[in-house]
Amino acid sequence: MTDSPAVKISRNVILLVIVASLGYFVDIYDLMIFSIVRIKSLHDIGIADNDIRSQGVYVINMQMFGLLLGGLLWGILGDKLGRIKVLFGSILLYSLANFANGMVHDINTYAMVRFIGGIGLAGELGAGITLVSEALPKEKRGYGTMTVGVIGLFGAVAAGIAGKYDWRTAYYIGGGLGMILLLLRMGTFESGLYKNVSATKISKGNILILFNNWRRFLKYLSCILMGVQIWFVVGIIVTLSPEFAKDLGAKETISAGTGVMCGYAGAAIGNVFASTLAQFTKSRKLTMLVFMGLTVLSVSLFLNAKGITNNQFILLCLFMGVATGYFATVVTIAAEQFGTNIRATVTTTVPNFIRATLIPINAAFGFLVTRYGMIKSGYIILFALTAIALFALSRLKESFSKDLDYVEIE
């Protein structure tokens, strides 16, 4: 006996959510694996101790440039050719780059392969969130994006486990996960909202739409800036936690890999709380305010943890992870702010532009460190980014339960 159409559609949507979640899992695995194996891998290719931080920032910045470029590329293609094609193309490029990453022997090749991997990875979260947001009923889409966030964030936990072994093997594992995901995607389907728009002559994937209207441009910029706290915590506080710990007078060795693993385990929990709070209050903006406040509190506690121990570090990383577990909420808000003909471009570029803000944040932090040291510089950047994020959030309208069946007019 065949399934009824309603049951079949329901199963397809569940499969879509699972595949999008696994895409984010691989996304986070790859984003975090360098932070975890940074010291070990750079030592192995001949980088001196005194150059570990500067060369590590160089590699991270190259990866972020790749994400920036890839966000534009896959976002535009997602609106022009469809969300599914982006999910296939991005994961294939990412997988090949990760296999190549396991074979590097010098810093410039390392950085270049991370750049290519960043391009490939850039399409995962945005295309996945776009598909899930468009496939689920508007009242339930928060649960779908919550699932993507929860499963995806455990990619960092997997990276933390893999990073405890040979760093080259960790990259090979990432490439293998990507190829498995590619096979799983064979059964997914295209968004119905996108199919309806693709059959019309409406301009699709025209990124200039975001810049030819001042109000629309400010809305787009606000979607990016409201998430800058998150990547400061991930890219500076946790990644450089061994250096912070030294300035805090730690008597024990602090591992960035442990910080990443605990931070993302906390972020998975925080994502559940953020999504549940949004569903309960029917307000994503209120949820953002609560979690931005928690981020300030958690980072301040870390920066004030004199003589920090490993147990304290683990607890603080869990807390910082919970506090910054609203990234899926940020991307969901971005998806809800724009029409179907430009939604994939927005939803794919926004998370990658947020990640790419780590480039100027790194530069500003490096400038401040030479004058004020690690701890004071951390506080300065934290409060500056919080002010920016709060102002950006204030410029956006509440989007909970917004109907997404509309287009942007040029």
Q: What average pLDDT score do residues 373-391 get?
A: 96
Quote the DSSP letter at residue 255.
P
pLDDT of residue 339: 83
What would the pLDDT profile of 154-200 be if each residue is shown by its tens digit? 887 788 888 888 999 999 999 999 888 888 776 665 555 555 666 66
In a domain, 342, yes or no: yes
- Token pair, residue 55, equals 């060369």
In a domain, 380, yes or no: yes
pLDDT at residue 109 above 90? yes
In a domain, 400, yes or no: no
pLDDT of residue 194: 55
In a domain, 403, yes or no: no
In a domain, 76, yes or no: yes
Q: What is the CATH number of the domain that holds 340?
A: 1.20.1250.20
Is 274 within 8 Å of 291 (Cβ atoms)?
yes
What would the pLDDT profile of 320-356 be if each residue is shown by its tens digit? 999 999 988 998 899 889 887 888 888 888 888 888 8
In a domain, 401, yes or no: no
In a domain, 405, yes or no: no
pLDDT of residue 233: 94
Query: Closest Cα partner for 313 from 383, 238, 379, 236?
Result: 238
Alpha helices (runs of H) in 45-105, residue ranges in sequence order: 52-80, 83-101
Q: What average pLDDT score do residues 294-322 get?
A: 95
Instruction: Choose between 3 and 198: higher pLDDT.
Output: 198
Q: Which phi-psi region, left, alpha or beta, contains residue 307 (left: φ > 0; alpha: ψ -120 to 50)?
A: left
Number of domains in the chain: 1
What would the pLDDT profile of 238-297 be if each residue is shown by its tens digit? 988 988 999 999 888 888 878 878 888 898 899 889 988 998 899 999 999 999 999 999
Residue 43 CA, distance from chain mean position: 27
pLDDT band at 129 (very low <50, low <70, confident <90, very high): confident
pLDDT at residue 402 above 50? yes
In a domain, 19, yes or no: yes
- Domain of residue 60: give its range: 5-394
pLDDT at residue 9 above 60? no
